[in-house]
Structure formats: C-alpha cells, structure tokens
Amino acid sequence: MKTFKFASGIVALAISAAFGQAVAQEGAPAMTAQEKEIGKKIYFERCAGCHGVLRKGATGKNLEPAWTKKDKDGNETSGGTLKLGTDRLSKIIAYGTEGGMVNYDDILTKEEIDIMARYIQNTPPIPPEFSLKDMKDSWKLLVPVKDRPTKQMSNINLKNVFATTLRDTGKLALIDGDTKQIWHILDTGYAVHISRMSATGRYVYTVGRDGLVTMIDLWFEKPTTVASVKLGSDARSVDVSKFKGFEDKYLVGGSYWPPQYSIMDGGTLEPLKVVSTRGMTVDGEYHPEPRVASIVASHIKPEWVVNVKETGMIKLVDYSDLNNLKETTINSAKFLHDGGWDYTKRYFLVAANASHKVAAVDTKTGKLAALVDTKKIPHPGRGANFIHPKFGPVWATGHLGDAVITLISTPTDDPKYAKYKQYNWKVVEELKTAGAGNLFVKTHPKSTHLWADMPMNPERENAEVNFVYDINDLSKPPVKIDVAKDSGLPVTKALRRAVHQEYSQDGSEVWISLWGGKTDQSAIVIYDDKTLKLKKVITDPKMITPTGKFNVYNTMKDIF
C-alpha cells in the first residue's frame, strides 16, 4: 500500500468519525479508502472553513460534485456549466486564485494535491449532529471553582499577556508582554480560532477548529485549564456575558457543525442550552448549514450579537432569561463572517464577504443601521477604528479579494464630530495596497499608524510583510515592513506568512506572527509602533505555526 507524507497539521483521530464516511459518486474519480481518509483530514483542516462542511460555499466557491467533476463523457462543460475536473482542480489548489484562496503548493505535497482534486469530486460526507446531551457528556470540570485561587499567585502583569495560537499543534502559548518570555504552553483544541477573555481578565476561553472549548485560569502560578467542553465537530467563536450584573455569568459558543450556538455556565462551562441556526436565508431559501461565524457581547444590553454566515441573518440574543430566550433577527446579506465594534461600541460592523458588503447593526435600537457596498471579499478581523483627518470617525476593513483597505464613516453622538454626519455609513476612502489577500488591519487609540497584513497573497514579497499607513497623512505611501527578513530566520522554500498584528496593552508595540510550516521555525516579531523599528524576535522550538495573538487587556476591553 502506498503511503503519503502529511504536510498538514495534527487533528484528533476523532475527526474521521465526526465527519462521517466519504461517499463515492457515479462518474467521480476513483479513490482508495486510505486516500479518502487523507482527503477528509485535509479538507477539514484547510478547506471547510471557507467552502463549508457540505461544500455549498460561502467565502469560498461551491465545491459540490455538480460543479467539480466532469460529466460522464469526460467533458468539461455540461449544459453551459463549467466542470473543473482533476487537472484543473489540481492547478487551482496548487497555485491559488485571485479571489483570496492561498496557494497550497508549499503546504501540501503533490500527492496530497492530487488526492484533494479527486476528493472534492466525490459526494461530501455528512457529519453527525451534536445535542445538549452530547455536550454534557463531553464536559470536563477539571478544577471546581472552590479549588481555584482566591487571588493571583504570580507576579505576571496579566493585562499585557498575549494568548497566542500555535495552530497545527493544538496548543496555546501565553507570552508575558513585559518580559517577552513564554510563560506557559497549554493543550487546547486544534487550530484555535480565537481566544476571548472574561470580563475580569482572569480567564482565557479558547475555541478550536475541532469544536473544543477550554477555560484557562490565569490566577494560578502557572496558567491552568480548569474546564473544557465540545461544541460539535467544528467551531469558531466564543464570548462571555459582559453587561452589568451578568459579567462572566454565561459563555456562548458558535459552531460551524452542527450549525448552532450553545450557552454554557461562564465559571464552569456546564452546558445549559443549544439553539439551532438552520432555516431560511435572506433570499427566502432553506439552507442546511448556516454556520455561526462570529459572536460579540454587547456593552449596553444583556445581549450577544450572533452572526449566521449562510443565512445572512444577525441575531441579537437576550441572555437575561435563558428559559424564555429572546432573539431579535436582523436581515443583512450573505455570507456573514467576522467584524468588530465601532469606536463608540454601539454599532457592530460585520463583513458579508461573499456579497462584498459590510453590515452595520445598531445594538441600541436592535435594527440594521446600514448595508455598505465594498470591494471584493472584505475580511476585517475585528477591523480598526480611528479619526480620519478629513472624514472623522471611521472603521477600516481589508479585503481578501481586492487590493484596497476600505474606510467607512461611523456615527457618534459626540458634538465635536457632528460636522461629519453627512459621511456616515459611506465608503469615504479606499487605501491602495500591493495586492489582495489581506486578513487583518489594526490600530490603537494611542497610535498614529494603521497596520495591514497580506498573508493570503501568493507572492512572497507581499505575504511575508506588513504595510503601515500614517493615519495623519493617508496620502503618503505606506511603509513596507519586511517581517520575514527582520526575524533573522533563514529563507525557506515555503512562505512564512506575516499575520495578525496585535498591540501591547499600552499601544507602544505591535506583535506580528511569522507563520511558517510545521517543520520550519516560526517566530513572533515585535516592532516599536512609533519608530517602526524592530524591537524583539521571540522564537523557540516550541513556537510552531503561531497565528492569532490576543492581548488580554485589549481583548477584554474590545480595543481595536
């Protein structure tokens, strides 16, 4: 039997069971059982996030066999519909697309690329459901509340700790932002998507791509996982309750599969309630896989903003009475992804990225405030807020599919910005970038800079750098920061992608992940925000595939 080298990351063996058995389809390329298992694993790790478990598409294209396989006569077109076939699919997987899909020729082997080209021409396996009972069966209370410290046991400045995802190892590195030393590394779910902080800053909640939520207590001398629970087979988002009187009482988690959100006890992760998001889209069609893409906690009401990707529905979930749960459903646009607050924290702006729009929700009135047309595939992360010298308060997003950073005017009741009201909810400027493939833009209230990455761009000179704009004079070309070169690490065939800028608590430093392959050394590269000069490189054999970094204070206070 032929064996294959795995270039992709480690995932729990349970994935095979969780994602069901691949089903062969008439006319689809033949695959061995081993190849199907390899394809299933890689698809979960690398593809499902954008294309969906059922391959119906969202940020990425529809990959159902009706679109991917040639017809029974081997023709590439049938009834006017383009049929891709193995050769063309292999090229797309290897070299990426201008629409924001990364090239995989330096991530997957040739054998794996061939397997994936054939795998997506076969009918996708359907994963099992995941009930409240399943959640309760998975729940582990490792350290009861009564056995936890009553005060902080270390001398670490917890507000300046960075929770750093080590993607392919299923671990989280907690790094002391003052000393730049790795404080502790803990096991988490695979490929942690985000870390969120409790309202007090004591606890770190992580959610992995395998649906595992972990709760980490920072008050121990060494940070300790005190509870864990599974949300399902695939998940992306969590947040605590933040409204006064409900601080940290509940945690909500959103899953990609099954499509639902789950509410847990904020101190123990005990599962309390599961709510399905299946239903009709804004177009009036039923969708079987409307995934929960992002969740944030309102600061002005006991509500979470829950964004349902495929339906284009934004749900305001009132958690004040779980037995009589109230949802306000707001129509926006498909396909909702990520987003962040405006600087007043009244309006939440979220990318409907495959519709090339940004939706803005007024959490005070519970209504849609605006639906703003943008360039292709906006991907803001949480976005960036600053005062534009000409247009006043703006919120920024980059784009996976276009070479611009979009600036949208946002409203405020502050009388000193009243003269900018005429611009509200309009795209007031588009900053030119070197290409598509941006994932994150970031600034800080104490900074005069806007940082932008481009890790999904296929060109090395773009993927391994950051571009820094002067907020006070946006007519100036951005400064190009060569993060890979500054790291001092040797050049490798595979790209090291500079991704996810994060500010220190005081806004004086910018931390950037240099995301290499699993066998290539990676690093965190730190810059002085005022001078743009290299300040420190954190590298270590344990620093494997670092991606998202979340400063405790900035995440706790929603500063971006």
Note the pLDDT tens digit of each residue in 501-520: 999 999 999 999 999 987 88
Give the residue ranges of DSSP H helices in 311-359. Answer: none
Provide the domain count of the chain.
Answer: 2
Instruction: Please pick, among 31, 47, 313, 556, the residue that the annotation labels catalytic.
Output: 47
User: 96-107, pLDDT tens digit by residue?
Assistant: 876 667 778 877
Mean of pLDDT values over 370-394: 97
In the residue annotation, 215 being an active-site residue is answered as no
Residue 175 lies in a domain: no
Contact yes or no for 9/168 (Cβ under 8 A) = yes
pLDDT at 70: 67
Helix-helix angle 85-95:110-119, to 10 degrees: 130
State yes or no: is 51 an active-site residue: yes
**Domain limits for position 460:** 433-560
Q: Does the residue 84 lie in any domain?
A: yes
Choosing from 86, 119, 152, the residue where a domain stops is 119
Rounded to 5°, angle at Cα 311 from 306 and 317? 25
Is 438 a domain residue? yes
Q: Report yes or no on 240 lying in a domain.
A: no
Q: What average pLDDT does the chain have?
A: 91
- Cis status of the peptide bond prior to 258, with omega within 30 of 0: yes
Q: Is 193 a catalytic residue?
A: no
Task: Check pLDDT > 70 for residue 58.
Answer: yes
Q: According to the model, what pLDDT value does residue 493 have?
A: 84
The CA distances from residue 237 to 43, 208, 212, 398, in Å, are 20, 9, 11, 20
- Give 233-284 pLDDT, tens digit per residue: 999 999 999 999 999 999 999 999 999 999 999 999 999 999 999 999 999 9
Distance CA 265, CA 352 (A): 30
Residue 138 lies in a domain: no
Annotated catalytic residue 449: no
| Mean pLDDT in residue range 416-444 | 97
Of the residues 102, 119, 136, the one at which a domain ends: 119
Residue 379: active-site member? yes
Q: Give the CATH number for residue 50.
A: 1.10.760.10
What's the whole-number mean pLDDT along residues 484-511? 96
CATH of the domain at 515: 2.130.10.10
Does 403 fall in a domain? Answer: no
**Residue 233 near residue 210 (C-beta atoms within 8 A):** yes
Mean per-residue pLDDT for 194-215? 96
Residue 472 has pLDDT above 70, yes or no: yes
Active-site residue, selected from the candidate residues 184, 287, 356, 379: 379
Q: Give the pLDDT mean for 192-215.
A: 96
Alpha carbons within 13 A on the beta-carbon side of 388 = 25
Q: Is 212 domain-assigned?
A: no
Residue 347: which pLDDT band, with cuts at 50, 70 and 90? very high
Q: Is 50 a catalytic residue?
A: yes
Annotated catalytic residue, options 337, 356, 399, 500:
337
Cβ within 8 Å of residue 557, ≥6 positions away:
none
pLDDT score recorded for residue 99: 64
> Which of 68, 85, 119 corresponds to the end of one domain?
119
Q: Which of 31, 50, 264, 456 is catalytic?
A: 50
Rg (CA), the chain: 22
Catalytic residue among 101, 197, 313, 556, which?
101
Q: What is the pTM of this model?
A: 0.86
Residue 554 lies in a domain: yes
